[in-house]
Amino acid sequence: MTASRPNQAAPDPHDDVALRVEHLSKVFGRRPKEALARIAAGASRDEAAKLGTAAVVDASFDVRRGEIFVVMGLSGSGKSTLIRMLNGLLEPTEGTVDVGGERVTGVDAKRLRGVRRSQVSMVFQHFALLPHRTVLENVAYGLEIQGVGRERRQQLARDVIRRVGLEAWETRMPSELSGGMQQRVGIARALCADTPVLLMDEAFSALDPLIRREMQEQLVELQAELGKTIVFITHDLNEAMFLGDRIAVMRDGRIVQIGSPEEILTDPANDYVAQFVQDVDRARVLTAASVMEPPAAAVPITVGPRGALKALRDAQTSTLLVTGPGRTVLGAVRDRDVMRAVQAGERELRPLVDAGVQQVDPDTSLAELPELAITSGLPLAVVGDGGRLLGVIPRVMLLAALGNVPTDTSELQVVDLPPALDARLLTQTLDATPEVHDAR
């Protein structure tokens, strides 16, 4: 173990440090110490590979109280290994971790359990809920281990469950819940344990894009409300930029830069980060999934012209997506056409549908979108497997998103948007025509 260094200032100058990591390294393999010595002497990770896999090399950082600290890096860069050393699931080859002033590394099992109960809980990528227990019992699990009585812990668990919006699901089994809901249970379980620090390893990576974004927003909200310290691991730059107060970029087991999202974007520490981030210049970082909106401006074809007109009015747009069975996109309708049809008392929406709506994959980067979108003059539909509508990118959104890019794409902003018809006009039309004409 690393000897204590008496000549270094021992007392903590900032007592707002929630988690401190010093010279932390982990090598998997038969001769980890030797591998590490070799690397310290200047060998590369590959050169030391015979002695063991250096998953984390000499990581040092502080996480401040109430901060969301994001660790970002490509797959295999050592993120999971790092976070698992923070609560002692892995014993480091070298270095120390302190959480809330308590040592995590090199302590006996009993002490370690104490730290886990009082200081640090965890949210898992694949949720890791106990499948044979109800949502309530899962959420109360941390308190159960802490020895809190049944009544009390269930009461506390109910509070947390309400916070994450799952109060109707308390008595259900995890398998009855969707992925997003299961992860909310995972988060509730970690919150309910009432530890100041939360570790989240790719917690949202297994979720659909839209749910993922919702969860990110909810996490930021919860964090603001409860003031937890969060260490969040992700390989997704969007997620890192959205969540992180500070971001640590990892590469091949080393932390290559730590900074605010802006610092990382505008002032990359080295070529690697620059490339990472340049690869990421916003139009590329942002994917269709990241700018799409929930498809409020979409209706099934069965609603008929009146239903479409109401939706147009409520969404205040000039065009509306129309979907068929299985939420596949049939096309779009324009407000003028719909209004005319309603006035004429028509029942069918189908004749009005313009099939020229462009459909894109959620992973399409924004950089590839404009020529598609601008030329068609219609909103873009983002579709998933089997053509199922996931979201829409209204033209306004697209232009706004691209407007952030300080590049030559800015000229695109001059494209005119057709103004939506006045909402009052639509309401008048609806009022003036009889209800019975609604198609079923």
Partner 1 sequence: MLDDLRLPLGTWVEAGVDWVTVNLAVVFDAIRAVVLALFGVAETAFTQPPEPVMIAILTLLAFAVRGWRMALGTVLGLAVIVLVGQWDNAMLTLSLTVVAALFALLIAIPLGIWAARSDTVSAIVRPVLDFLQTMPAFVYLIPAIILFRIGVVPGIIATIAFALAPGVRLTELGIRGVNKEIVEAGHAFGASPGRILRQIQLPLALPTIMTGVNQIIMLSLSMVVIAAMVGARGLGQDIVQSLQRIDIALGFEAGISVVILAIILDRCTNALGSLQQHSPIARLRARSVAARRAPSPAPATTGAAASAVAQTDTGRVGSAVGEERA
Q: Which residues bind ligand ADP (CB under 6 A)?
A: 28, 53, 55, 73, 75-81
Q: If residue 381 lies in a helix (H) or strand (E), which one and from where to where?
A: strand 380-383
Using the contact rule CB under 8 A, the part of the chain among 27-35, 121-129, 351-359, 394-402 near partner 1 is 121-129
CB of 134 to partner 1, least distance (A): 8
Cβ–Cβ under 8 Å, residues 169 and 162: no
Partner in contact with 28, chosen from partner 1, ligand ADP, Mg ion, none, beta carbon below 5 to 8 Å by kind: ligand ADP
CB of 124 to partner 1, least distance (A): 5
DSSP letter at 249? E
Using the contact rule CB under 8 A, the part of the chain among 63-71, 168-176, 239-247, 354-362 near partner 1 is 168-176
Q: Verify binding: residue 116, partner 1, rule CB under 8 A.
A: yes
**Residue 272: alpha-carbon gap to chain centroid:** 23
**Residue 99: alpha-carbon gap to chain centroid:** 25
Partner in contact with 382, chosen from partner 1, Mg ion, ligand ADP, none, beta carbon below 5 to 8 Å by kind: none
Instruction: Specify the residue for token string 């009855």.
Output: 176
Q: Verify binding: residue 166, partner 1, rule CB under 8 A.
A: yes
The alpha carbon torsion through 307, 384, 164, 131 (nearest 10 deg) reads 130
Q: Residue 357 corresponds to which tokens in the numbers above?
A: 């709506």
Partner in contact with 73, chosen from Mg ion, ligand ADP, partner 1, none, beta carbon below 5 to 8 Å by kind: ligand ADP
Which residue's beta carbon is nearest to the bound Mg ion?
Answer: 80
CB of 253 to partner 1, least distance (A): 21
Of 424, 433, 440, 430, give the one whose Cα is nearest residue 345: 433
**Could you tell me how many residues of this chain bind partner 1 (CB under 8 A)?**
57
Burial track 36-47 (b if 16+ CB lie within 10 A, e otherwise) = bebbeeebebee
Partner in contact with 267, chosen from ligand ADP, partner 1, Mg ion, none, beta carbon below 5 to 8 Å by kind: none
CB of 261 to ligand ADP, least distance (A): 19
Degrees (nearest 5) of the Cα angle 70, 3, 83? 20
From residue 47 to residue 86, what is the string marking binding to partner 1 with x (rule CB under 8 A)?
Answer: ----------------------------------------
- Adjacent-strand bridge partners of 17: 64
One-letter-per-residue 3-state SS of 124-156: CCCCCCCCCCCHHHHHCHHHHHCCCCHHHHHHH
From residue 171 to residue 210, what is the string marking binding to partner 1 with x (rule CB under 8 A)?
Answer: x------x-xx-------x---x-----x--------x-x
Instruction: Specify the residue for token string 């309400």.
Output: 162
Instruction: Specify the residue for token string 């219609």.
Output: 378
CB of 147 to partner 1, least distance (A): 10
Q: Verify binding: residue 80, Mg ion, rule CB under 5 A.
A: yes
DSSP letter at 379? P
**Residue 137: alpha-carbon gap to chain centroid:** 26
Q: Verify binding: residue 300, partner 1, rule CB under 8 A.
A: yes
d(CA 189, CA 192): 5
Footprint on this chain of partner 1 (rule: CB under 8 A): 87, 89, 113-117, 121-122, 124-126, 128-132, 134, 136, 141-142, 145-146, 165-171, 178, 180-181, 189, 193, 199, 208, 210-211, 214, 294-300, 303, 307, 310-311, 314-315, 327, 389-391
Footprint on this chain of Mg ion (rule: CB under 5 A): 80
